[in-house]
Amino acid sequence: MKAKNLWTTIILGAAALLVAAPLTMAGTAPGTGIEDTAHDFSGRNAGGVTTGKCTFCHTPHRAIQTRLLWNHTLSANTFSWSDAAETQGGTPLPTIDPSWTGPTKFCLSCHDGSVAIGDIAWFNKQTWVGNPVDNTTHGAGDPVNIGLGGDMAGNHPVAHPFPFQGSASTYNGTTTGAPALLSGWQPDPQANGIRLFHEDALGTVAAGAVVGNTGIECSSCHDPHNGAGVQDVFFLRGEIGDGPDYICTKCHNK
């Protein structure tokens, strides 16, 4: 093989590997931690100091709020589904407003495309709100944008009740519909590695299921930190392909 053709083959082969590589697990296998994943934000220059992998979401000082020590500017959008009012089983699709305390709100602070990825409250003794470290966003056309302009059309319901242990739930102001076939869900997806949440009397969301008051959030199926429970690309707590760990059947009894 001529040298020119050999290098063409090598380059094309490398390109094919890059295309085939899991985009959200850039350099790290599922379940092995955040380093080198798409959520590793280290390496940005902020006033002459290099940001760490956690900076764009968390800060130990002057956070937007103490809970999660949240650092990333939150979206001002209220989220809803424009293409449907309820599920097939009659459960109304929720509204997620800026006061919601569940994990979904924090995910959407990047993934609705309205806030720059590096628009953060505090780093290196200064604020970066309105003067972001990284101006890129998950805007229109970005495959990981799931709520542009607050419209969640076509996306799986989140901040939404789950019928834990086969019982109807009320969560985020929404109650499982009376026609819903409760046997169609796994009684306890937590046993399958899925995270469930509940809402206390003050409206604060916390991890863990409570009969009659359980819901799902973005982080029910995705672990943004690529923790040990992640099994596949996109930080999934299950697998994309069909099989015993298929992500859908971890919640849905089908």
Q: What is the mean pLDDT of residues 243-248?
A: 94
At 49-67, the pLDDT tens digits run 999 999 999 999 999 999 9
Q: Quote the pLDDT of residue 127.
A: 97
Beta-carbon contacts of 62 under 8 Å, excluding residues fewer than 6 positions away, are 121, 122, 127
| pTM, rounded to two decimals | 0.88
* Per-residue model confidence (pLDDT) at position 22: 40
DSSP state string for 99-119: T--SHHHHHHHHHTSSS-TT-
Q: Which residues pair with 175 in a beta bridge?
A: 170
What strand order describes the sheet that includes 214-216? 160-161, 214-216, 197-199, 205-207
Query: pLDDT (tens digit, 9 = 90+) per residue, 183-238?
Result: 999 999 999 999 999 999 899 999 999 999 999 999 999 999 999 999 999 999 99
Question: Once rounded to an integer, what is the mean pLDDT over residues 8-30?
Answer: 45
Dump pLDDT digits (tens) for 110-134: 999 999 999 999 999 999 999 999 9
182 φ, ψ (degrees, to nearest 5): -65, -25
pLDDT of residue 20: 35
Using pLDDT thresholds of 50, 70 and 90, give the confidence band for residue 242: confident
* The pLDDT of residue 27: 58
Query: Quick check: helix, strand or coil at residue 189?
Result: helix
- pLDDT of residue 25 exceeding 60: no
- Kindly report the average pLDDT of the chain as a whole number: 90
pLDDT recorded at residue 21: 36
pLDDT digits (tens, 9 = 90+) for 74-93: 999 999 999 999 999 999 99
Residue 175: pLDDT above 60?
yes
pLDDT for the residue 243: 86
> pLDDT-derived band of residue 11, with 50, 70 and 90 as boundaries?
very low
Helix (H) or strand (E) holding 205: strand 205-207
pLDDT, one tens digit per residue, over 36-47 is: 999 999 999 999
Please give the span between the terminal C-alpha atoms of the chain, in angstroms, as a whole number.
53
Cα angle: 150, vertex 143, 136; to 5 degrees: 75
